Each structure stands twice: as C-alpha cells, then as structure tokens.
C-alpha cells in the first residue's frame, strides 16, 4: 500500500508577480513515496538524491509537515511513512521545499479512502512550505501542484488560475553553484516602495498576463521586467547583471531572478534557447561561478 509522486521545480515571481505568480519547470523535481503504516503520525524513512542532510523530524521537514497536517486534519487512523528523493538543489530559488511538500501530499493523497481535490492539497502543502521559509507564499506550491504558469489570488481561500503561455515560449534556467537563503533574501527587502514603481510594476504584471492570454510576444517582451524586487536582490548574485545582459543580447523576452535566487531564468522563443543558455552560463563563468542549465517548455 504505497504511492510515489513527482513534483516539478518552479520559478517563483516570474519577475512581475512577487509571491503570486509562478511557473513549473518539469525537467527537474522531487519525488516522494508514501507508504501506509500502522503506527499513527508521520515517519520519514529516508532522504536521498541531491540533498540528504535535511531534518528527519516531520515537524521540521517540508514534506513531513505537509503530510502531518493532512494526517492530523483528517484524523486518519493509520500513519504514513515517507521516502524523499531530492532532485532540486537546496537554496537554489527553484522551489525545492515546495516540490517536496507537493510530492508528499500528492503521494499521501493516493493512500486516502477518499481522495482530496488539488485545492485541498494546496492548503496542506502550504503548511510544509511555511516550515522552510518562515512565510506563507504560494508562488512555488501552486505551479508545482497544478503545472504551467499559475496565478494565485488570496491566501486563506486561494483562487488558483492557470494562465496559457504561447507555445513557442521556452524557459532557460541557469543555476550558479552557490546558495541563498529565501529567508535572508526576504529580510533585505524594503518595506516601503516608491509609488511610481508600484504603478510601473502593476502595468508590467497586467501587460505580461495580457500578453500571455493573447499570445502577444511583443507585449510579453515589453512587460517581463521586475522594477521592485530584482534591483534590491541582484547584489546577492555575483554577475547577475552580466548574465541578464547576455540573455537579452541573444534575444530573450525577459530575464530575472528565479524566486529568491540565485538561479536566473530567461523566457525566450525556442530557436534562441540554446544560444541564450550558453551565453548565460559563460557570463556566470566570467564571475568564476560554475552553473547547471536547463531548457524547458512551459507545461
């Protein structure tokens, strides 16, 4: 009586939707196996893959806490044992904690007498994400669970909307070999923002979503720009500006920080993807940073 689920990595914010917009990146992800056990509660049997030194106490582990909140809330008369296989590097800005929480609740859901909806699973996965980052944001959880480009409005009763993306669009991800803590990258952010930047960013978010819905690549190019968060965070990533310039020079529609970083993403059309990826990797190398890079469709 066991089930395995895969949950993809995700790009939080997508430059213009801080904490509310994200998209999945199916090429990499985490895998969790849930097994029904007689002993009540949650037990973490193993953690493997790219990251092994994560907490084994369910309350301190993102997948553990997500499934534990499910077991408690549903008052299950059995327990669940988890095996976690990490495919997403830690502290990379690729939504690794969200992916483990999502894979955990999806696998556990298969063991329930009556399965839950994705929206119900989202709420349990959020309990896991909270353990990792100390804050409630859904821009990684929602796309990792639903797939594609996802906008989430509201926290207590979230409305989750999947946004269509023009089929020629690809995402290039470049992960420099360094880590950043989401917590620290949130703490440096200013609490007050200049009104003109709020207006500019609102226009960009509206323009970006409209461009996606209407398949207007020119509008996406015009609006895929973060004028509020990226200017504050880019100092945390050596070579960021050079990497972004390289991506734009090779035809990217836009380039920014994935989630809290240090991974950098670029949106582009399929024919330019390889050249953009190589240019971004070379730009990080000039700052003595080795990196891994991937290209994916937006499904």
Q: Check whether 93 is labelled as a binding-site residue.
A: yes
Nearest approach, Cβ of residue 88 and ligand HSE (Å): 11
Beta-carbon neighbour count of residue 72 at 10 Å?
A: 14
Q: Is 90 annotated as a binding residue?
A: yes
Name the minimum Å distance from CB 60 to ligand HSE: 19
In the bound state with ligand HSE, the residue whose beta carbon lies nearer, of 11 and 80, is 11
Q: Cβ 93 to ligand HSE, closest distance in Å?
A: 6
89 annotated as ligand-binding: yes
For ligand HSE, give the closer residue by CB, 92 or 272.
92
Residue 153: CB minimum distance to ligand HSE, A: 15
Would you tell me which residues interact with ligand HSE (CB under 6 A)?
12-13, 18-19, 93, 95, 137, 139-140, 182, 185-186, 259-260
| Residues belonging to the chain | 299
Place of tokens 């990490």: 86
C-alpha distances (whole Å) from 3 to each of 25, 103, 262 are 22, 10, 33
Rounded to 5 degrees, φ, ψ at 159 are -100, 120
**Among candidate residues 14, 22, 140, 151, the one with its CA nearest the CA of residue 88:** 140
Smaller CB distance to ligand HSE: residue 58 or 91?
91
CA distance 290 to 269: 25
Q: Give 255 or 279: the residue with its C-beta nearer to ligand HSE.
A: 255
- Least CB distance from residue 281 to ligand HSE, whole Å? 22
- Find the Cα–Cα–Cα–Cα dihedral 54, 55, 60, 63, rounded to 10°: 50
Residue nearest to ligand HSE (CB): 259
148 appears as a binding residue in the annotation = no
The answer to whether 2 is a known ligand-binding residue is: no
91 is in an annotated binding site: yes
Please count the other Cβ atoms lying within 10 Å of the Cβ belonging to residue 33: 18
Q: Is 99 annotated as a binding residue?
A: yes
> Which 3 state secondary structure label does DSSP give 179?
coil
- Nearer Cβ to ligand HSE, position 8 or 81? 8
The CA distance from 249 to 230, in Å, is 19
Q: Which of these, 69, 80, 47, lies nearest to 123 by C-alpha position? A: 69
**Bind-site residues:** 89-99
Binding-site positions for ATP: 89-99
């Amino acid at each position: 009586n066991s089930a395995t689920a895969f949950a993809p990595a995700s790009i939080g914010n997508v430059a213009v939707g801080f904490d509310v917009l994200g998209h999945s990146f199916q090429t990499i992800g985490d895998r969790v196996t849930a097994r029904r056990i007689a002993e009540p509660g949650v037990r973490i049997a193993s953690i493997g893959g790219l990251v092994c030194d994560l907490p084994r106490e369910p309350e301190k582990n993102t997948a553990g806490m997500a499934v534990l909140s499910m077991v408690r809330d549903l008052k299950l008369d059995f327990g669940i044992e988890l095996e976690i296989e990490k495919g997403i590097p830690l502290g990379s800005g690729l939504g690794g904690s969200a992916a483990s929480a999502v894979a955990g609740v999806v696998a556990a859901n298969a063991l329930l007498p009556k399965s839950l909806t994705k929206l119900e699973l989202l709420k349990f996965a959020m309990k896991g994400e909270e353990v990792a980052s100390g804050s409630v944001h859904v821009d990684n959880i929602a796309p990792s669970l639903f797939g594609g480009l996802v906008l989430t409005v509201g926290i207590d009763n979230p409305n989750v909307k999947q946004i269509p993306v023009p089929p020629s669009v690809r995402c290039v991800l470049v992960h420099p070999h360094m880590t950043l803590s989401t917590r620290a990258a949130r703490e440096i952010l200013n609490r007050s923002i200049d009104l003109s930047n709020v207006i500019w960013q609102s226009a960009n978010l509206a323009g970006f979503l409209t461009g996606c819905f209407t398949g207007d690549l020119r509008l996406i190019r015009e609006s895929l720009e973060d004028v509020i968060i990226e200017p504050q965070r880019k100092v945390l990533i050596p070579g960021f500006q050079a990497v972004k310039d390289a991506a734009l020079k090779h035809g990217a529609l836009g380039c920014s920080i994935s989630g809290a970083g240090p991974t950098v993403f670029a949106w582009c059309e399929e024919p330019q993807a390889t050249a953009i990826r190589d240019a971004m990797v070379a730009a990080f190398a000039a700052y003595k940073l080795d990196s891994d890079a991937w290209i994916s469709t937006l499904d």
